[in-house]
Structure 1
Amino acid sequence: MDILTLVGLVAGVLIVVLAMLANASVLTFLNLPGLAIVLGGTFAVTLIKFRLSSVMSAFRLAFSAAFKEQVARPTELIREVGELAMVVRKEGILGLEDHETTNGFLQKAINLCVDGHPPELVEEALNQETRQTAERYEVSERVFRGIGESAPAIGMLGTLVGLVQMLNTLDDPSSIGPAMAIALLTTLYGAFIAQLIALPLADKLQLKAEDEARNQLLITTSIRNIMRGENPRVMTELLSSFVTPEQRTGLAPEREA
């Protein structure tokens, strides 16, 4: 569970809501027609920009990637592939047959190696998987950035609708203040959705995509070196470029093994 994403989202929403309710009630900021305009309009624009399957996939990926710490740490992967290299050095490539890992990409790489495919085919299959994963993340990120762009614009559209309705009732000055407040609520709804939900999730998806791409490149590089019979110590030294200088000290035992 990526607790920081959940904490940030809840904290942001809570701070804004508490500020809104400091000198007013919930009903002051509740306008169902305006909310319907923003939610319905944003959803409609999103469907115009993207296919429904892409939108549904984006929401599934957002909640599975943004709220779950499913990306392995590079140091853990380097240690694991270092152990795999030691096994192959002692028992051959078939020694990996009984190895199980929680990383799906690494497990696919192991299965391809054990099945006896040539190194070129294994590397091409892994690169193809990396490209497809990056594409899924990119589409999901674009969906949420599209929502972040559309929601404020639709909110402004709702404000214009409210202002037109207000101008039609200028014969009653007492209604101008409440009507103006209702008109501005749609802009508030649009900014709320964009700045506190859609755009932060898009940035989180971009970050997770970069982490996933780095880990998959690390695994692909490792498998290529293992199939070439590279020395485990040398391989670990080469893979240390995927981590920070501070994290490399934790890999010292593997380099000395």
Structure 2
Amino acid sequence: MDSATAIGVGGGFAVIIGANVMEGGNPSSLIQIPALVLVFGATLCVTLAGGTLADAKNAVAALKKAFTGKVTPAADVVPTIVGLADKARREGLLALEDAVKDIDDELLVKGVSLAIDGNDPEEVRTILESEVIAKRRADKQAAKFFSDAGAYAPTIGIIGTVMGLVHVLENLARPEELGHLIAAAFLATLWGVMSANAMWLPIGNRLKRLSELDVARMEVVIEGVSAIQSGANPRVVRHRLVSLLPAEEQSALAEAA
């Protein structure tokens, strides 16, 4: 599990609260239930209004992935593909039928299975590339949900502040209550801006990054399946796949080898 999001979001809120304490503030003074209900409730509602119920359900699943998702570098699949290429070159594609049973990568299993069934290489590539396109679309929509929430939250917070200032104006005859009412009014803006920049937008960016890493691995798999089906030399397959990796992953793979 990659805990970057949990550390980042938790750390961001901790720093903000810590700074408030250092300035002599009381963290409990930042907690006002009406402001929290307005900012978070209205933000989620208007974000939902911009999509579909299915988008919201996918976003909930994506939220779990953002905090607990495992980052699988594309380099991790290279040795597996090279091993399959070597076995296919020595024993033929049909010999891979048992080998794919122990592989966890669904796209690699699907691609090799299609190759074993004797499908045309171009047709196999088209099918696998369609999987990548579908993956990109789903991930883009999930990330968009949280990015949209980050865009709406500050404005919702301003609405809450305006509502609070209306109450301030209603109580001008009671000066002793104005300080409390003004402070409470600005809490909505605080939570709107803070939730957007310390939670919603980072989660959206995290999902985009996870999607990029997943797609990069899938592209390596597609090239690997194509090389296996063509009967390429395992050494050539390795060089071909390594060339698709970022520099740091190439170095890590070379050290492991």
> Could you tell me how far apart the structure 1 residues matched to 2:252 and 2:155 are?
49
Would you say how many aligned residue pairs link Structure 1 and Structure 2?
254
| Residue 116 of structure 2 corresponds to residue 114 of structure 1 | yes
* Contact 1:74–1:242 (8 Å) recurs in 2: no
2:177 alignment partner AA: S
**Residue range with higher mean Cα deviation, 193-202 or 106-115:** 106-115
Shift of 1:83: 0.7
CA pair 11-245 structure 1, distance change in 2 beyond 3 A: closer
> Could you tell me how far apart the structure 2 residues matched to 1:231 and 1:210 are?
29
Aligned to 1:130: 132
1:132 alignment partner AA: A
**Residue range with higher mean Cα deviation, 229-238 or 177-186:** 229-238
> Could you tell me how far apart the structure 2 residues matched to 1:207 and 1:129 are?
18
Alignment of 1:40-119 (within 5 A): 40-69=41-70, 71-99=71-99, 100-119=102-121
1:43 alignment partner AA: L
> Could you tell me how far apart the structure 2 residues matched to 1:219 and 1:116 are?
18
* Cα deviation digits, residues 206-251 of structure 1 (max 9, x gap): 1111111111111111111111111111121122222234543555
CA pair 16-246 structure 1, distance change in 2 beyond 3 A: closer
**Residue range with higher mean Cα deviation, 178-187 or 2-11:** 2-11
Shift of 1:59: 2.2
TM superposition score normalised by structure 1: 0.91
* Contact 2:89–2:231 (8 Å) recurs in 1: yes
* Contact 2:5–2:66 (8 Å) recurs in 1: no
Shift of 1:114: 2.5
Aligned to 2:16: 16
Aligned to 1:244: 246
Structure 1: tracts of 5 or more residues without a match: none
> Could you tell me how far apart the structure 2 residues matched to 1:63 and 1:34 are?
26
Other structure's SS at 1:97 match: helix
Shift of 1:200: 0.3
Runs of 4 or more consecutive aligned structure 1 residues displaced over 4 Å after TM superposition: 249-255
> Could you tell me how far apart the structure 2 residues matched to 1:20 and 1:53 are?
39
Structure 2: tracts of 5 or more residues without a match: none
Shift of 1:81: 0.7
> Could you tell me how far apart the structure 1 residues matched to 2:3 and 2:123 are?
39
* Contact 1:137–1:206 (8 Å) recurs in 2: yes
